[in-house]
Amino acid sequence: MKYAIVVPDGLADFPLAELDGRTPIEVARVPHIHGVSQAGKLGTVVTIPAGLPPGSDVANLSLLGYDPRQYYSGRAPLEAASLGVELGEGDVAFRCNLVTASDGVMVDYSGGHIRTEEARVLIELLSRELASDDLSFHVGTGYRHLLLYRGTEPMEVETTPPHDIMGEPLEPHLPRGKGAKLLRQLMERSAELLADHEVNAVRRDLGENPATMIWLWGEGRRPQLPAFVGRFGVRAAVISAVDLVNGIGTLLGMERIRVPGATGYHDTDYGAKGRYAVGALERFDLVFVHVEAPDEASHDGSARLKVEALERIDHHVVGPVWEALKGYGEYRLLVVSDHYTSTSKRTHVARPTPFALCGKGIDPVRRLRFTEAEAETGELHIDQGHLLMGYFLGKQAT
């Protein structure tokens, strides 16, 4: 029995005026995704429990079969695992975005989607100038990096994701609580150090947004997660360009498969992701394929890019993976949006999100297209997202 899960991050959306009142998945040419729905069952799943933030961290924990109410301890510790950063018992990790701010307003949560080689130069500068025995910076991918706090002073802060405050003033959303003063000082000092850096000078010359400061958020301590194979009896691999998802997989004991050309953005190599997923099926029982591009398109406010990303995922990932699964005889395939990402609001929204699955033992009842509206009328509605994995595998978690 072979299993594959394809997660087009943030696929679910709301009707958009620029798409004549339709959602991106309703407009996109995605015959394979619709085919999964029509060959099996369609429904909705609650991946974000009440009271938790509607992010990919919480959502993907749910999709992998782990109740976020029990296991979630913050976003940054999950990314730390992907980067090989060890957290001690009292350590606190923070996501460290390179962002663009101007006149006290959040202009771009991604610093113009700064390239990793440019970002490395900036993060290494901040490390030389701001790191200490208590503080260390760690280079990630693109605009996504980490700050680790190992101090003894209390660190009990509340922070805000930068992609939730696009176009808004910074001040009301700066860190608050015990330890917030230190974080604010780091953010202010980073703005001074990066203001006239040559990397940003070149980016401005090219018409690209500069990385004007760091934004600290997603704080948390080391989680304790039981191994996936121990809970479900399935050997699994994860494919993603995002440290968050790779970190969850690492903590669960899943094999991380690195794909050349996978960027976590619109320019990712969709074909390579599909090929590597097909190859992974030869060695593993389950392959979890995460593609970030639709979510990034929503945060950019681009319906066109989101439609394009969905079409490429369908053609280069879902199609080839489904065809490969058929060659093994017995299989199951799940396509699921981890959460809603509103293109008009450019942020995540917590509400039941659509999924479709097909394969052995999943007999179709109604042949529905994979859309948000049709999913709400579908056969399956799972109100605790972490239970979807057991249903998909036909196994109870231990």
Quote the CA–CA distance of 128 and 130 in Å, as a whole number: 6
Instruction: Kindly state whether residues 59 and 153 are assigned to the same domain.
Output: no
User: What is the reported pLDDT for 386?
Assistant: 98
Picking from 220, 238, 265, the residue at the C-terminal end of a domain is 220
Which pLDDT tens digits describe the chain residue by residue (398 residues)? 999 999 999 999 999 999 999 999 999 999 999 999 999 999 999 999 999 999 999 999 999 999 999 999 999 999 999 999 999 989 999 999 999 999 999 999 999 999 999 999 999 999 999 999 999 999 999 999 999 999 999 999 999 999 999 999 999 999 999 999 999 999 999 999 999 999 999 999 999 999 999 999 999 999 999 999 999 999 999 999 999 999 999 999 999 999 999 999 999 999 999 999 999 999 999 999 999 999 999 999 999 999 999 999 999 999 999 999 999 999 999 999 999 999 999 999 999 999 999 999 999 888 899 999 999 999 999 999 999 999 999 987 76
184, 171 contact by CB (below 8 A): no
Instruction: Kindly state whether residues 248 and 365 are assigned to the same domain.
Output: yes
Instruction: Kindly state whether residues 346 and 232 are assigned to the same domain.
Output: yes
CATH number where 376 lies: 3.40.720.10
Range of the domain at 30: 2-72+224-393
Residue 142 in domain = yes
Quote the CA–CA distance of 59 and 349 in Å, as a whole number: 11
Instruction: Kindly state whether residues 239 and 370 are assigned to the same domain.
Output: yes
149, 183 contact by CB (below 8 A): no
CB atoms closer than 10 angstroms to residue 274:
26
Residue 10 in domain = yes
Instruction: Kindly state whether residues 192 and 236 are assigned to the same domain.
Output: no
Instruction: Kindly state whether residues 66 and 196 are assigned to the same domain.
Output: no
Instruction: Kindly state whether residues 18 and 109 are assigned to the same domain.
Output: no
Residue 81 in domain = no
Instruction: Kindly state whether residues 147 and 258 are assigned to the same domain.
Output: no
The bridge status of strand 105-108 relative to strand 92-102 is antiparallel
Residue 77 in domain = no
Instruction: Kindly state whether residues 119 and 201 are assigned to the same domain.
Output: yes
Picking from 220, 245, 260, the residue at the C-terminal end of a domain is 220
Residue 84 in domain = no
Quote the CA–CA distance of 323 and 364 in Å, as a whole number: 19
Sequential DSSP letters for 93-143: EEEEEEEEEETTEEEETTTTT--HHHHHHHHHHHHHHH--SSEEEEEEETT
Instruction: Kindly state whether residues 64 and 187 are assigned to the same domain.
Output: no
Instruction: Kindly state whether residues 251 and 388 are assigned to the same domain.
Output: yes
Instruction: Kindly state whether residues 244 and 344 are assigned to the same domain.
Output: yes
Residue 78 in domain = no
Picking from 220, 254, 272, the residue at the C-terminal end of a domain is 220
**Domain total of the chain:** 2
